[in-house]
Chains A and B, each alone.
Chain A
Amino acid sequence: MIVAERKPMVEILASIQGVSRLLVVGCETCVAVCLAGGAKEVAVLSAALRLALRERTSAVEILERSVERQCEEEFNAPLAEDIAKVEAVLSMACGVGVQTLAEQFPDAIIYPALNTQFMGRPEAPGIWAERCLGCGDCVLGRFGGICPITRCSKSLLNGPCGGSSNGRCEVDPEHLECAWQLIYDRLARLGQLERLYAIEPPKDWRSAHDGGPRRTTREDLRL
């Protein structure tokens, strides 16, 4: 899922300074699952904003809504009426949802309430960890199902650097496992250690992170 966390209250308050009618919109997909931007978090943030703004001279009206998937326009269409009533929208979706609202409602002022972080999974209650950089050319089959591009701090493709110690990465030994220790252990378990002798060629970054937005077309689905 896409993992996000709420921005600090101070930053959110600064962004909506002077706004007297506000719409807070959550998203019930990824950010609801990671407990950052679903209906419950919309209610919590709205209550916190009312509390923080109660000493303002003029009253602040806050509408609370949440949609199934903010990254798809059809789910956002019913928001049109509410958006027309407010001065600003605070989106609790990921960056994709925020941009979808901005594209869909070109006259509305949209502020993000979350920091979108990564594609990852929950490792333990309250802990999410990155698993995929979306490089567009999946290499997991060659590395025992563990992504060195995402999980090695240097994205090394040909084995560990000198900073791997007792299975931990020197960049943050307390929290980070060495991806190459994981890869080695898993390939050993699968009887595929011979894979480690092959020199992995330089990555073709044209499939991602080469300095431009990507799009994908499926001709079979085009109208």
Chain B
Amino acid sequence: MKSGSRLERLLWAGHFVVTAELGPPKGPDVAAVERKMSLLAGACDAVNVTDNQTAIVRLSSAATCALLHQHGIEPVMQMTCRDRNRLAMQSDIFGAVALGVRNLLCLSGDHQKFGNHPSAKNVYDLDSIQMIQMVKRLRDEGLTAGGDPVEGAVPLFIGGAANPFGDPFEMRVIRLAKKVAAGADFIQTQCVFDLPRFKEWMRRVVDLGLHEKVAILAGVMPLKSAGAGRYINANVPGITVPEAIIERLSRAGRGAKAREEGMRLCAETIQELRTIAGVRGVHIMAVEWEEAIRPIAEMAGLLPRPEPPEVAP
């Protein structure tokens, strides 16, 4: 066991895992975090806490993770390279571990241009692969990036992201291989809408044997409406929502009916992902729609969530 986290133990025991996402509030609104926690408790195995996602200032990931941990929900702390240099990263990682965090997802981070502080200077002292390498060294060698010994253990299950839909396509598998070589234990992918392209990416991943070295969790996102799908196609590079999905949402009608259909589509995608060799779980990203997680998990036949083995060898 590298971290003993619930996520690691469930994967070790061979379970198909479910993670979800919680976006912290735009301020220290603990009640908002607690409301979202209640929607997610028991509906998934661990909860990713975003780190100023889309470069919008929010309650810190580490603090939100600590709140989750106190409430018995396992957090996956997200950390981006955008806002911190290597000193701040390591310091915040120590802090998070001290507060009970056991899973860390290392990300490049969205460019500040997209957020609410476009005049800020970004950092990018390290990139996400260098960050993974640094965290592995903290954990396995007990050494900081600068080479000093770490006081105390850093038991973290290390994650990285992968986008099978970005360009250049050939680079996407190479980049995954680099993340694995750098020390990633698990991968969460960009939202899968285009199943054929995802399958093609997974086929290459399996051909290289990468699925045996890293646990791949496929990302999924429920859509509230046909408009949401069209918005993604127009505004989010690297994700394409197929016309057939938009068409189905459109036919379902408006409001609650469209949302119901969006959740059903998401559950169907999960069921299909489960059949793909090498996929070890799903990561459900219901952005500002945490209410959707439990029904989707239910429809996909993923509830109740299993208990992990208490102590693993």
- What is the interface of chain A, defined by CB distance below 8 A to chain B? 153-168, 170-173, 178, 180-181, 184-185, 196-197, 199-203, 205
**B77-112 vs A, Cβ < 8 Å mask (1 yes, 0 no):** 000011000100000000000000000000011010
Residue of A nearest to B82 (CB): A154
Residue of B nearest to A166 (CB): B167
* A199 interface neighbour in B113, B166, B178, Cβ under 8 Å: B178
Give the residues in chain B near A199, CB-CB below 8 Å: 129-130, 133, 178, 181-182
Q: How far is the CA of A207 from the CA of B240 in the complex (A)?
A: 41
What's the least CB distance linking A178 to chain B, in Å? 7
Q: How far is the CA of A199 from the CA of B113 in the complex (A)?
A: 27
With A164-B167, A164-B237 known, 5 other A-B pairs at CB within 8 A are A154-B81, A156-B124, A162-B237, A165-B167, A178-B167
Most chain A CB within 10 A, of B109, B130, B237, is at B237
What's the least CB distance linking B18 to chain A, in Å? 22
Are the C-beta atoms of A162 and B161 separated by less than 8 Å?
A: yes
Are the C-beta atoms of A202 and B174 separated by less than 8 Å?
A: no
> Would A158 and B130 be within 8 Å (CB), given that A153-B111, A163-B166, A163-B237 are in contact?
yes
Within 8 A of A (CB), among B113-162: 113, 122, 124-130, 133-134, 145, 161
Q: How far is the CA of A200 from the CA of B126 in the complex (A)?
A: 10
B27 at the A interface (CB under 8 A): no
Q: How far is the CA of A200 from the CA of B175 in the complex (A)?
A: 12
Please classify how large the interface on chain B is, using the bins under 10, 10 to 19, 20 to 34, 35 or more.
35 or more
Are the C-beta atoms of A158 and B238 separated by less than 8 Å?
A: no
What's the least CB distance linking B226 to chain A, in Å? 22
What's the least CB distance linking A156 to chain B, in Å? 4
Give the residues in chain B near A178, CB-CB below 8 Å: 167
Q: How far is the CA of A50 from the CA of B181 in the complex (A)?
A: 65
Give the residues in chain A near B273, CB-CB below 8 Å: none
Give the residues in chain B near A157, CB-CB below 8 Å: 127, 130
Are the C-beta atoms of B178 and A164 separated by less than 8 Å?
A: no
Residue of B nearest to A155 (CB): B124
Residue of A nearest to B110 (CB): A163
Q: How far is the CA of A160 from the CA of B170 in the complex (A)?
A: 11
Most chain B CB within 10 A, of A157, A162, A197, A199, is at A162
**B235-260 vs A, Cβ < 8 Å mask (1 yes, 0 no):** 00110000000000000000000000
> Would A162 and B190 be within 8 Å (CB), given that A154-B108, A156-B127, A171-B113 are in contact?
yes
Are the C-beta atoms of A158 and B167 separated by less than 8 Å?
A: no
* B108 interface neighbour in A156, A165, A166, A185, Cβ under 8 Å: A156
Give the residues in chain B near A170, CB-CB below 8 Å: 111, 237-238
Residue of B nearest to A149 (CB): B124
Q: How far is the CA of A142 from the CA of B218 in the complex (A)?
A: 32
Closest 3 CB pairs of A and B: A162-B163, A165-B237, A158-B129
Residue of B nearest to A153 (CB): B111
Are the C-beta atoms of A165 and B127 separated by less than 8 Å?
A: no
Q: How far is the CA of A164 from the CA of B126 in the complex (A)?
A: 19
Are the C-beta atoms of B127 and A154 separated by less than 8 Å?
A: yes
Q: How far is the CA of A129 from the CA of B90 in the complex (A)?
A: 35
* B130 interface neighbour in A172, A185, A202, Cβ under 8 Å: A202
Give the residues in chain A near B171, CB-CB below 8 Å: 159-160, 180, 184, 196
Can you give 19 contacting A-B residue pairs, CB < 8 Å?
A154-B111, A155-B124, A156-B128, A158-B127, A158-B130, A160-B175, A161-B166, A162-B161, A167-B167, A168-B237, A170-B238, A173-B237, A180-B168, A197-B174, A197-B177, A199-B181, A202-B126, A202-B145, A205-B125
What's the least CB distance linking A81 to chain B, in Å? 43
Give the residues in chain A near B126, CB-CB below 8 Å: 202
Q: How far is the CA of A154 from the CA of B86 in the complex (A)?
A: 15
**B179-198 vs A, Cβ < 8 Å mask (1 yes, 0 no):** 00110000000100000000
Are the C-beta atoms of B170 and A164 separated by less than 8 Å?
A: no
Q: How far is the CA of A150 from the CA of B301 in the complex (A)?
A: 48
Give the residues in chain B near A166, CB-CB below 8 Å: 167
Are the C-beta atoms of B174 and A161 separated by less than 8 Å?
A: no
Are the C-beta atoms of B237 and A160 separated by less than 8 Å?
A: no
> Would A164 and B168 be within 8 Å (CB), given that A158-B127, A201-B130 are in contact?
yes
Q: How far is the CA of A155 from the CA of B170 in the complex (A)?
A: 20
Most chain A CB within 10 A, of B129, B134, B145, B190, is at B129
Q: How far is the CA of A155 from the CA of B82 in the complex (A)?
A: 10
Most chain B CB within 10 A, of A159, A171, A184, is at A159
What's the least CB distance linking B111 to chain A, in Å? 5
Q: How far is the CA of A196 from the CA of B130 in the complex (A)?
A: 14
What's the least CB distance linking B256 to chain A, in Å? 32
Give the residues in chain A near B145, CB-CB below 8 Å: 202
Q: How far is the CA of A14 from the CA of B110 in the complex (A)?
A: 38
Q: How far is the CA of A60 from the CA of B126 in the complex (A)?
A: 53
